[in-house]
Amino acid sequence: MDETQPANLTTENMPSISGNEIHSRLYDHLPVAVYTCNRLGYITFFNKAAERLWGRTPEIGRDLWCGSWKIYTTEGIPISLDNCPMAVALKKGIPLEGEQIIIERPDGVRVKVRPYPVPVFDDHGELTGAVNTLIDVTELVDNEGKQAVLAAIVNTSDDAIISKTLQGNIISWNRGAEQIFGYTEAEVLGKHISILIPENRLQEEDVIIGRIAQGKKVDHFETIRLTKAGREIPVSLSVSPIMDRSGKIIGASKIARDISVQKSAQEAAERHIKNLRTINAMAKMVSEELNLKQLLQKVTDATTQLIGAAYGVFFYKAVDTAGESSVLYSLSGVPVPAVKKLDLPVSMEFLQDIFPDETVVRINDITKIVPNGRNASYYDMLSGQLQIASYLAVPVADRLGTIVGGLLFGHPDAGVFTKEHEMMVTAIASHAAIGIDNARLYEEVKALNEKKNEFIGLASHELKTPLTSISGYLQILERQNTDVLGKNFMSKAMQQIRKLTALISDLLDVSKIEAGKLRLSKERFDIRSLLEDTIDLVQYTQNSHKITLDTTVEKTILYADAQRIEQVVVNLLTNAIKYAPAATHITVLLERQDQEVKVGVKDAGPGIAPDQLSLIFSRFYRVENSNATVSGLGIGLYLSHEIIERHQGRIWVESELGKGSTFWFALPA
Ligand code: ADP
């Protein structure tokens, strides 16, 4: 191979190394793996690059065909070394053209290689061996693979993936972009990105490009973009800078996601929440309103407004306690002259006409409907007088499911009422039905209560008259009767009469309170002397308990109804005696605190359970069991409470079971 020597080299200045050595050094510096085999396939030479590629050092004259440890096809199928490309080239005597194989090194690392084995022949055409060049294509192939994967991702993405220059000209456009924006790649390449931006948002692009130029990203920016058809769609944009190898920003890649579905789902959810809130608010209002007429009006007004109806009518079949039924109705948005002209139904048969199938009726345009027997009523009821097109009628059913009324709405424009309106009004109507029932029951109870109060007032009045005469006659008899036993009986009878009189006057007071007729006649008096007198009075008739006044307070003037305050103290003392029969002592307390005077009646009786403390001041309330033997009507504390409250005072009890109770009241000083 003398031809490889430079022409100007002479024998004198030639380095003192052999030609073979020169070749081997030359090959060792080659970045490409090269090796040779003799005719029989034994390796005769390999360079450093080949050694590196194989990851091992073959033995000259011993290793056959190839220095690899193991080789595979690109699919990973093992190839025996005597079938390796070098072996094939030698055996067939033909060069092979770099079909890729995989070499596995002893350390397990695999490299992708293209081999170029070329057989060598002597001057006589005899095969003498072969040279193989191995090109490491690992990086190239891997990069290609990555590119292919990326391209596949970009291509199959539902998001629009677009790249553009810093000037905004489109340089790539994927299938997702085509689907979202409607332009094909050919239509937009080179065009300015502003074709996708609505006019009033053009300045957004400057802001985005401004950020990109500074190397910053734009993340999930929600905005509106234009499709080819000119339709505006909500999108979420993420834009990142594209850099060249030197890190210079040369453009931007942009991912646009069509968020129409999310947006409309979000809007639907928000609407739904709003509707629920409305229904809730309505339900609350309905449950709080106990006045039937006002309830109907509120529901009519609110639902009419809620669904944007021009007119709303609420019909309701009312049945009074005598079983007489009549039709109540309330109107919203209906002008007064129209009300006069409206042919409002007087009986409830019309409900069958309005709700022939007992369900909601919603019609986009009733003017387009040919009247027939089944739809005649709603057709002429509202349309004639009020010129309506959109019509919605929602039945209102009672607890048993019987339709007892209906909410009717109208609007002069067609197609105003939606399924959503229908659902909302239906929900509200079912609440309204309960509310109406409650209001009706409440009105019935109120009427009955009034009757009962009337009766208590009347009865106590009627009882009082004969009692007064009896007591008069008894007093006369008592004076005339000198017999000791007789006198004793008379006095017992008088005592019972006094009890009866007290009960009756309590009952009378109750009916006065209920009728709002309990009058206070206020005067100035000293509370301390009132307490002393009252204690004396009670002590005079009751000597089972010792009652003492425990106070440091001197004369204290109050402006109040002295008789009523005395009534309260007597009540509390009588209770203390009644409910603490085993105790011997009752203490009356008088305290002065800031602007208040506090009076307490303390007993050492059985006490009251905590859960009863707030109840005992209610009308006719008595604690069960504990006082089965003690008679009473449960009105003493109720009256006391009312009297004290009417004085802008407070009344309460402190009690512990087994230890006794202290009833307190406080009055402004
Ligand atoms: P009445 O005494 O007619 O039952 P009240 O309104 O005076 O009605 O009292 C209501 C209830 O409070 C009584 O039934 C009783 O159970 C309870 N009560 C009142 N005072 C006392 C007390 N001093 N000790 C225990 N329980 C009491």
pLDDT of residue 636: 92
How confident is the model over 272-314, as pLDDT tens digits? 898 888 888 888 888 888 888 888 999 999 999 989 999 898 8
How far, in Å, CA of 446 to CA of 456, rounded?
15
How far, in Å, CA of 167 to CA of 205, rounded?
10
* Residues at CB less than 6 angstroms from ligand 1: 575-576, 579, 603, 605-606, 608, 616, 621-623, 626-627, 632-638, 661
538-547 average pLDDT score: 90
Determine the CATH number of domain 21-142.
Answer: 3.30.450.20
Distance 636 CA to ligand 1 centre (A): 8
Given pLDDT bands bounded at 50, 70 and 90, which one contains residue 665?
Answer: very high
Distance 652 CA to ligand 1 centre (A): 13
pLDDT of residue 647: 95
Given pLDDT bands bounded at 50, 70 and 90, which one contains residue 380?
Answer: low
Ligand 1 atom, smallest distance to 571 CA: 7
Residue whose Cα lies nearest atom 24 of ligand 1: it is 579
pLDDT of residue 1: 40
Q: For residue 252, give Cα distances in angstroms to 58, 162, 187, 224, 456.
A: 51, 8, 19, 19, 90
How confident is the model over 555-609, as pLDDT tens digits? 999 999 999 999 999 999 999 999 988 889 999 999 998 889 999 999 999 999 9
From 547, 577, 616, mutation site for ligand 1 pocket: most ligand atoms within 8 A of C-beta = 616
pLDDT of residue 383: 54
From 499, 569, 579, mutation site for ligand 1 pocket: most ligand atoms within 8 A of C-beta = 579
Beta-carbon count within 10 A of 543 CB: 8
Distance 573 CA to ligand 1 centre (A): 11
The CB-side HSE value for 554 (13 A sphere, CA atoms) comes to 0
pLDDT of residue 300: 93
Determine the CATH number of domain 157-258.
Answer: 3.30.450.20
pLDDT of residue 598: 96
pLDDT of residue 340: 54
Spatial CA neighbour of 627 closest among 612, 641, 638: 612
User: What percent of the chain is predicted at pLDDT more than 70?
Assistant: 91
109-138 average pLDDT score: 94
Q: In the chain, where does the domain assigned CATH 3.30.450.40 lie?
A: 266-439
Q: Which CATH superfamily is domain 519-668 in?
A: Histidine kinase-like ATPase, C-terminal domain (3.30.565.10)
Q: In the chain, where does the domain assigned CATH 3.30.565.10 lie?
A: 519-668
How far, in Å, CA of 161 to CA of 253, rounded?
7
Distance 622 CA to ligand 1 centre (A): 6
Distance 623 CA to ligand 1 centre (A): 7
pLDDT of residue 413: 93
Element (H, E) at 599: strand 596-603
CB 224 within 8 A of CB 233: yes
Ligand 1 atom, smallest distance to 638 CA: 6
Q: What is the DSSP string of 91-144?
A: HHT-------EEEE-TTS-EEEEEEEEEEEE-TTS-EEEEEEEEEE-HHHHHHH
How far, in Å, CA of 479 to CA of 493, rounded?
14
How confident is the model over 486-525, as pLDDT tens digits? 888 888 888 889 888 888 888 888 888 888 888 899 999 9
Beta-carbon count within 10 A of 481 CB: 14
- Give backbone dihedrals phi and psi of 307, rounded to 5 degrees, phi first: -100, 10
Specify whether the backbone of 554 is left (phi greater than 0), alpha (psi in -120 to 50) or beta.
beta
pLDDT of residue 562: 95
pLDDT of residue 384: 58
Q: The tokens of 292 are what?
A: 């039937």
pLDDT of residue 203: 93
How confident is the model over 6-65, as pLDDT tens digits? 444 444 444 455 667 777 778 888 889 999 999 999 999 999 999 999 999 999 989 999
Choice between 584 and 339, residue whose per-residue pLDDT is larger:
584
Round the average pLDDT of the chain to a whole number and report it: 87
CATH number (3.30.450.40, 3.30.70.580, 3.90.550.10, 3.40.50.300) of 266-439 reads 3.30.450.40
Distance 442 CA to ligand 1 centre (A): 29
Choice between 448 and 181, residue whose per-residue pLDDT is larger:
181
Torsion of CA 256, 262, 266, 269, to 10 degrees: 180
Distance 595 CA to ligand 1 centre (A): 29
Distance 560 CA to ligand 1 centre (A): 25
From 503, 547, 575, mutation site for ligand 1 pocket: most ligand atoms within 8 A of C-beta = 575
pLDDT of residue 465: 86
From 587, 588, 622, mutation site for ligand 1 pocket: most ligand atoms within 8 A of C-beta = 622
Q: In the chain, where does the domain assigned CATH 3.30.450.20 lie?
A: 21-142, 157-258
pLDDT higher than threshold 90 for residue 352: no
| Least confident among 146-155, 187-196, 379-388, 442-451 | 379-388
Distance 93 CA to ligand 1 centre (A): 125
How confident is the model over 359-378, as pLDDT tens digits? 899 999 888 876 665 555 55
